[in-house]
Amino acid sequence: MNKPVMILGAGGLGKTASDIFKANNIMVYGFLDEDTTLHQTEIQDITVLGSVEDDAFFRIIGDDCEACIAEEDMEKRAELAKLLRKKRKKMPMNVVHPKAILEPSVLLKHGNFIGAGVYVGSAVEIENNCLIYPNATLNHQVQIADFVHIGAGSIINSGVKIGQKAFIGSGVTITSGVKIGENARIVAGSVVLQDVPEGATVFGVPAQNV
């Protein structure tokens, strides 16, 4: 039987995560969010109990309750992941939409969000705390490092390697074998034909430095 889950973040991604958990028959215990105006209100019939700073609620996370990080900002995701490890000795759980397809050989670590219609091909490796939005495609042997954002409808072709905290906008196409450096940004709609250095921002068809 699946354990209940506490969702850290009551914004749009938190609401989406709640729907996904319900579709997967996983009970949501509650939300925690830093916005005090939301505290003790209900979202989709689930109470926003308080904030992660309130130990009375945060300590519920443990052996009998999992945690999900539902923040889109990667810095906030990193802070919450660190807090979970430090205070509760827990890794965040994955949120995988039931209409996503992951091949059996996929290596999926912790704290990832995978939206509806996503396809993840054979021998893909996805590290921790990534966001992969609806209808994205990751073809075989793609490697995704920690805290990577992949926008809706993007196509990541075979053998691509994406470095930590890279941002891939919506509708991007990356051709086979390309390497995307850490903290690189690919603007929405771009077609990437060659390696992108660490920290670079590229845009266009084909993508060029901004």
The contacts found for 155-163 with CB under 8 angstroms, 24 or more apart, are 158/121, 163/198
From residue 64, alpha-carbon distances to 2, 90, 143, 171 in Å are: 10, 11, 32, 39
Burial class, 22, CB count within 10 angstroms (exposed 0-12 / middle 13-18 / buried 19+): middle
Q: Name the β-bridge partners of 155.
A: 137, 173
- Name the active-site residue from 39, 97, 110, 140: 140
Is 140 one of the catalytic residues? yes
Are 95 and 17 in contact by the 8 Å Cβ rule? The answer is: yes
Q: How far apart are CA 71 and CA 98, in angstroms?
A: 20
Amino acid (one-letter) located at 32: L
- Please identify every residue annotated as catalytic: 140
